[in-house]
Structure 1
Amino acid sequence: MKRLVRIAFLLVALGFGAWAVASKWDEIQTGFARLSWQSLVLSLVAVIAALCGGMMTWRALLADLGSPLPFRAGAKVFFVGQLGKYIPGSLWPVIAQMEMGRELGVPRSRSAAAFFLTLPVQLASGLLISAVTLLTALPGSVAPYAWVFLLIPVLAVVFEPRVINAVVGFGLRKLKREPLERPLTRRGMLTALGWALLGWTAYGLHLAAIIHELGLSGVSMVVFSIGAFALSWCLGIMTFVVPAGAGVREVAMVAVLAPVLDQGSAIAAALCSRIVIVLGDLICAGIAGLAARRSVDSQSDSVQGKAV
């Protein structure tokens, strides 16, 4: 029964992912026509690195809460679960991660805590790195979004373990759940923050590979790309009702890129970025699932060999 549910989840998630591509196919073809295959490959490699950074952020938080997972197992839980973000509704990824994590001995409450902590860590680090990089590369581009950066001091409480442990404990009590066995530590939070910042850097390189083909180059544009992507992601993730921030992130990216690209080029960059990220999600989920399956099969063969 669990296998059927998991297959159904994957089929639905993949269906919505395919729909996200098909619904904008004409625009996507136009955008890709302006890019070389080398830039697309570089962009995809950077996206995969960025997605791994997100996985390591989540894995660091989960380990700090008391459930360290091996890399392969953690990658499978995270990447396969993340496909749920393409399904309308905000809870599919956490539900999938909770169920897959439970099979590995991770309590549901701990999986949920790691998932919901990952979002504010990424949001706070994303706003921080976008403010620094945009101010460094193109100070005038920050002015229209100054109000967003006011959230940075508020989100900074995430990095104080005493505060976040109290908030998590309060939430679990209200939900009548068991308290967390291990509180978050400052070391664990800083480790998660470090991985998140590396992830944003890789996302910026992914966007830089795209806009380089649209006529922009240089170190300052790479720095600008890091901030532009991080800011557009943060604006998109604030719209929880939209699957994976679909549409909102692209609109935000077009607006953020306006100072350096004409509207047509900015739209092409945003659409290409979206499709490369969808491909990255599918590749990471596929590789992680196969790697975890091979690991289980090899362990099973080893056990059978010893029995013989």
Structure 2
Amino acid sequence: MRRFVRIAFLVVALGFGGWFVARQWDDVRAGFALLSWQSLALSLVAVVAALCGGMMTWRALLADLGSPLPFRPAAKVFFVGQLGKYIPGSLWPVLAQMEMGRELGVPRSRSAAAFFLTLPVQLGSGLVISGVTLLAALPGSAAPYAWVFLLIPVLAVVFEPRVINAILGFGLRKLKREPLERPLTRKGMLTAIGWAFLGWTAYGLHLAAIIRDFGPSGVSVAVFSIGAFALSWCLGIMTFVVPAGAGVREVAMVAVLAPVLSQGQAIAVALCSRIVIIVGDLVCAGTAGLAARRDVDPTHDQTTGKPV
């Protein structure tokens, strides 16, 4: 039954991912026609690096909470679980990660805590890096979104481990769950934030590889792209009901790119970015799943991957 549920989850997630591509296929094809294969390849490589940065952010938080996982099993849990973001509803990824993590000895409450902590870490670091890079690349481009940056002081307070541990403890008590055995530390939080910043940088390079074919002038494309992608992602993640921020992120990206691209070009860039990210999700999930298959080999330990 567990295997059947897992296969059904993957089929549904992949189905919604394919639907997102198919419903906008004409626009996607037109946008891709303007891009070189070199740009698309560079963009995909950067996306895979960015997704790995997100995985390492989550892995650092999970390890600090008391469940360190080797890279390969962690990648499988994270990337396969993340396919759930394409299914309508916001809880599918965390439910998938809780179930797969439990098979590796990770308590469900700890998996849930790491998942929900990853979001504010990515949101806070995304707002910080977008504000800095947009100001450096094109002063004034972030002005229309000044209200979003008011969240930074609030998230800075949340980043304090004592505050986080108190919030987690309160939530677990309300849910009548056992408290976390190991509180979050400042070192673990700083490690997670560092990986998040690296992830945003890679996402920016992914966007820059696409934008450069449209030839914007008068702006540092790489620096501007980091801020543009991070800001549009942060705006998209605030709409929890929409699968993977679909639509909202693209609308925000078109608006953020307005100072350097025409509306038609910005739409093409946003759509191409979305498709490359979907492909990156599938590549990471497929690669992680195949690489972790030897973990189920009876001659290997399931948590370390080493011969028994």
Query: What's the TM-score bracket when you normalise by the shorter of the two chains?
Result: over 0.9
Q: Give the Cα–Cα distance (whole angstroms) in 1 for the partners of residues 113 and 158 of structure 2.
A: 13
- 1:7-47 deviations in Å (ceiling 9; x for gaps): 00000000000000001000000000000000000000000
Question: Aligned Cα RMSD in Å?
Answer: 1.6
Deviation at 1:217, TM superposition (A): 6.4
Q: Give the Cα–Cα distance (whole angstroms) in 1 for the partners of residues 42 and 205 of structure 2.
A: 9
Q: Which residue of 1 aligns with 2:140?
A: 140
5 Å-filtered alignment, 1:275-286, equals 275-286=275-286
Q: Give the Cα–Cα distance (whole angstroms) in 2 for the partners of residues 14 and 57 of structure 1.
A: 24
Q: Which residue of 2 aligns with 1:28?
A: 28
Q: Give the Cα–Cα distance (whole angstroms) in 1 for the partners of residues 217 and 191 of structure 2.
A: 32
- 1:125-169 deviations in Å (ceiling 9; x for gaps): 000000000000011101100000000000112220000100010
Deviates more, 1:134-143 or 1:213-222: 213-222
Q: Which residue of 1 aligns with 2:171?
A: 171
Deviation at 1:296, TM superposition (A): 3.1
Q: Give the Cα–Cα distance (whole angstroms) in 2 for the partners of residues 192 and 219 of structure 1.
A: 30
Deviation at 1:221, TM superposition (A): 1.4
Deviates more, 1:113-122 or 1:153-162: 153-162
Q: Give the Cα–Cα distance (whole angstroms) in 2 for the partners of residues 254 and 115 of structure 1.
A: 29
Deviation at 1:220, TM superposition (A): 1.5
- Scaled by the length of structure 2, the TM-score of the pair is 0.96
Instruction: State the AA in 2 paired with 1:120.
Output: P
- Identical pairs, percent: 85
Bigger fraction of residues in helix: 1
Q: Which residue of 2 aligns with 1:47?
A: 47
State yes or no: 1:193 paired with 2:193: yes
Q: Give the Cα–Cα distance (whole angstroms) in 2 for the partners of residues 291 and 223 of structure 1.
A: 34
Q: Which residue of 2 aligns with 1:249?
A: 249
- 1:229-252 deviations in Å (ceiling 9; x for gaps): 000000000000000000000000
Q: Is the 8 A contact 2:217 2:260 kept in 1?
A: no
Q: Which residue of 1 aligns with 2:79?
A: 79
SS at match of 1:104: coil
Q: Give the Cα–Cα distance (whole angstroms) in 1 for the partners of residues 112 and 160 of structure 2.
A: 19
Q: Which residue of 2 aligns with 1:62?
A: 62
- Scaled by the length of structure 1, the TM-score of the pair is 0.96
Q: Which residue of 2 aligns with 1:153?
A: 153
- 1:259-299 deviations in Å (ceiling 9; x for gaps): 00000100000000000000000000000000000243373
Q: Give the Cα–Cα distance (whole angstroms) in 2 for the partners of residues 94 and 107 of structure 1.
A: 13
SS at match of 1:150: helix
Structure 2: which 5+ runs fail to align? 302-306
Q: Give the Cα–Cα distance (whole angstroms) in 1 for the partners of residues 265 and 28 of structure 2.
A: 12
Could you list the structure 1 runs, at least 4 aligned residues long, displaced by more than 2 angstroms after superposition.
216-219, 294-301
- 1:185-210 deviations in Å (ceiling 9; x for gaps): 00000000000000000000000000
Instruction: State the AA in 1 paired with 2:140.
Output: G
Q: Give the Cα–Cα distance (whole angstroms) in 1 for the partners of residues 229 and 148 of structure 2.
A: 14
Q: Give the Cα–Cα distance (whole angstroms) in 2 for the partners of residues 263 and 163 of structure 1.
A: 43
Give the number of aligned pairs.
Answer: 304
Q: Give the Cα–Cα distance (whole angstroms) in 1 for the partners of residues 90 and 182 of structure 2.
A: 26
Q: Which residue of 2 aligns with 1:131?
A: 131
Structure 1: which 5+ runs fail to align? none
Q: Which residue of 2 aligns with 1:270?
A: 270
SS at match of 1:140: coil
**CA 66–255 in structure 1, closer or farther in 2 if over 3 Å, else same:** same
- 1:47-73 deviations in Å (ceiling 9; x for gaps): 000000000000000000000001000
